[in-house]
Amino acid sequence: MTTATATASGTFELGGSTPVVRLGYGTMQLTGDGVWGDPRDPDEAIRVLRRAIELGVNFLDTADSYGPVVAEALIKDALHPYADDLVIATKAGLTRSGPGDWRPVGRPEYLRQQCLMSLRHLGLDEIPLFQLHRIDAKVPLADQVGELKLLQDEGKVVHIGLSEVDVDQLSQAQQFATIVSVQNLFNLTDRSAEALLDHCTAAEIAFIPWFPLATGALARDSGPLQQIASRLDATPSQVALAWLLQRSPVMLPIPGTSSVAHLEDNIAAADLPLPAADVAALDAVGG
């Protein structure tokens, strides 16, 4: 059993007021195949969530569309009543038409409905971080972010975040609300959001990388990631997470898993310092 805890990753304050442990947990993999339906092992899903909290995680990322509804319900079943310091981030703006099918819907009335549904499913009076899952190109951005701002003004949402945006879209959204986080694809092998990350770092906006453990060929036996992991007596996943944590102080990785053993392996990355030479080597070969 691991002795490492997520708290070794340090903390970041969302919006300058809500502290979270930087190494969090993402709940998408708790659902069925194609992020659809119930988990294969519901009891293990509950154990994973409770073990994450035991290991110091206090930042959980989820969405109404995971299941749909399944992940939010699991969080409530496993953890309610919640610890005072637990920060649950959920998302709205993607609808589901079956396994693996995701469709943006950003109409204000829909985003409001989903916020109210998430409050009910999670058993919350207010959502600590409510994120627009995708910008809907068919709806003015002012209407989408503006509705989130109205929900915030009504006390249903504490902080507002975005997902899969670029710097220009972030800047546009900031005209209508204070944005405290963005969630974009980012990992060792896909750094297409690097300009956004650098922008967020300078502005002290949280950057939540989804799919943080994609390592591809870098993790092969002869690859640089495996070589570094072997030398540090670590796993490639741990090195990949440690690299993310050292890449920027605003980085909040949320690796997901449906296994307690894999969760413990991921959490150990919080206590894995990467030598500067290894960071430079990974900087050079990825992307």
**Which residues have C-beta within 8 Å of that of residue 119, sequence separation ≥ 6?**
125, 126, 127, 156
Q: 198 — phi, psi (to 5°)?
A: -60, -40
Measure the CA–CA gap between 271 and 48, rounded to whole angstroms.
20
Measure the CA–CA gap between 284 and 287, rounded to whole angstroms.
8
Q: Which regions of the chain does DSSP assign to beta strands (E)?
A: 11-14, 18-21, 25-26, 59-61, 87-92, 94-96, 102-104, 127-132, 157-163, 179-185, 206-210
Answer yes or no: 25 catalytic: no
| DSSP-derived secondary structure letter, 281 | H
The catalytic residue among 25, 66, 82, 110 is: 66
Measuring CA to CA, how many Å separate 3 from each of 52, 261, 269?
Answer: 13, 13, 11
**Distance from the Cα of residue 185 to its chain's centroid:** 10
Measure the CA–CA gap between 261 and 266, rounded to whole angstroms.
9
Neighbours of 103 (CB within 10 A): 12
* Total number of residues shown for the chain: 287
Which pair of tokens denotes residue 77? Answer: 């079943």
Which 3-state string (H, E, C) describes 72-90? HHHHHHHHCCCCCCCEEEE
Residues noted as catalytic: 66
